[in-house]
Chain A
Amino acid sequence: TQLLEQSPQFLSIQEGENLTVYCNSSSVFSSLQWYRQEPGEGPVLLVTVVTGGEVKKLKRLTFQFGDARKDSSLHITAAQPGDTGLYLCAGAPRTGNQFYFGTGTSLTVIP
């Protein structure tokens, strides 16, 4: 079961371009996390957003948590080839003990 839908699923852009990845759900989450994963490795945590409407910045990455805590976005400014990877949102719904990942966005930044 994947409660979190990400869009786009695949994204290929030129170096220097900006991009936004969306993570949407019909469920409310107490917090959402964003991860980046390299092939054959475990996901690496980028950020956790907790408060509805919260915006967090990590260098060229900007994360936003929706006011209703059902959605989130990741914006990358001036993408670089090193940003290439699989980006995943994830979180635990307010009810239940599970921890779900979004459907994933595979980003390729072309030099």
Chain B
Amino acid sequence: GAVVSQHPSRVICKSGTSVKIECRSLDFQATTMFWYRQFPKQSLMLMATSNEGSKATYEQGVEKDKFLINHASLTLSTLTVTSAHPEDSSFYICSARAGGPNSGNTIYFGEGSWLTVV
């Protein structure tokens, strides 16, 4: 079945540095990818929606200069947290919507990435 791979699964970085999280659709083309942030025992908060080849659409309150999203191909989207601070520590999850006329617009989720900023 369709798989979305997210990497790294866990990352620790120093405050002030940048960290990149990758989201790959392994056996389908993802016309749209979504990035979410989740705090413990809370729901997934949509950060941005990215379409291949175009700029991401950020949700209100999400700093686009801090959370850089690139969707350069139909199988890869990246989220870069720039100048990370401890309050950016969270669980980040990506998902991908399969494209094409017979895809049914099914959405597949990555395994998530734990970011800890020290």
The answer to the question of A103 belonging to the interface, with a C-beta cut-off of 8 Å to chain B, is yes
* B contacts with A, residue count (CB < 8 A): 25
A99-B43 contact given A42-B93, A42-B112, CB 8 Å threshold: no
Q: Mark A41-82, 1 if CB is under 8 A from B, else 0.
A: 111000000000000000000000000000000000000000
- Provide the residues of chain A in CB contact with B45, threshold 8 Å: 2, 101
Determine chain A's interface SS by DSSP, over half rule.
loop
Question: Across the two chains, which residue of chain B brings its CB closest to A101?
Answer: B44
- Answer yes or no: A26 CB below 8 A from chain B CBs: no
**Contact status B41-A99, CB under 8 Å:** no
Q: Which residues on the A side are within 8 Å of B107 (C-beta)?
A: 99
Nearest B residue to A87 via CB reads B43
Is B19 interfacial (CB 8 A cutoff)? no
Binding site for B on A (CB under 8 A): 1-2, 6, 39-43, 86, 88, 90, 97-104, 106
Given contacts A2-B45, A100-B46, 16 further A-B contacts (CB under 8 A): A1-B46, A2-B46, A40-B114, A42-B95, A42-B109, A42-B112, A86-B43, A90-B44, A97-B49, A98-B34, A98-B46, A99-B95, A99-B97, A101-B44, A102-B43, A104-B43
Interface residues of chain B, those whose CB is within 8 Å of chain A, are 32, 34, 36, 40-46, 49, 51, 57, 59-60, 91, 93, 95, 97, 107, 109-112, 114
